[in-house]
């Protein structure tokens, strides 16, 4: 089981970058595997596929434990929060949010993302408009991943 610590990483300059609706990225704190992501401007926050999500007390410290992308490797983080999220169909659920790093088109970005079981979804990661605005990223709805 890996115990990770998120670090502060410099983000890209204020210059605007155009993305397609569908991209590929990876999360270096969890894996070097490339994952397909969907940019969803209708979503405020993003979500990353994870399973075995639970809060655990280890040596007196509260940790969030999860298996990124449904794999076998369990990760523990101490910096997390819970918040309510409303889905596109109007239902509300409580999710855990973590701060991590995403590499998108070769650029490392800090991201706050929720954990959700997206195993039945086509895309294991959804990126919402909060991340896009914070990083001066724009979407070309006709564009694909480069």
Phi, psi at 134, each rounded to 5° = -65, -25
Q: Which domains, and CATH codes, for the chain?
A: 2-7+17-138 (2.40.70.10)
Per-residue pLDDT of 68-94, as tens digits, reads: 999 999 999 999 999 999 877 888 999
Q: Which residue has the tokens 């979407």?
A: 139
The DSSP annotation for 3-57 comes to E------PPPPS--EEEESEEEEE-TTT-S--EEEEE-TT-SS-EEEEEEEEEEE
Residue 5, pLDDT above cutoff 90: no
Global pTM? 0.84
* Contact between 51 and 119 (Cβ < 8 Å): yes
């Amino acid at each position: 089981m890996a115990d990770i610590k998120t670090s502060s990483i410099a983000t890209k300059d204020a210059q605007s970058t155009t993305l397609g609706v569908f991209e590929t990225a990876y999360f270096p704190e969890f894996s070097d595997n490339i994952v397909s992501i969907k940019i969803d401007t209708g979503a405020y926050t993003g979500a990353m596929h994870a399973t075995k999500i639970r809060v655990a007390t280890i040596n007196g410290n509260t940790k969030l434990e999860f298996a990124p992308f449904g794999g076998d490797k369990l990760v523990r983080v101490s910096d997390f929060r819970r918040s309510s999220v409303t889905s596109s169909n109007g239902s509300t659920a409580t999710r855990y949010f973590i701060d991590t790093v995403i590499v998108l088109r070769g650029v490392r970005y800090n991201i706050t993302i929720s954990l959700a079981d997206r195993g039945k979804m086509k895309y294991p990661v959804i990126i919402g408009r909060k991340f896009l605005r914070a990083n001066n990223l724009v979407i070309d709805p006709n564009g694909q991943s480069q």
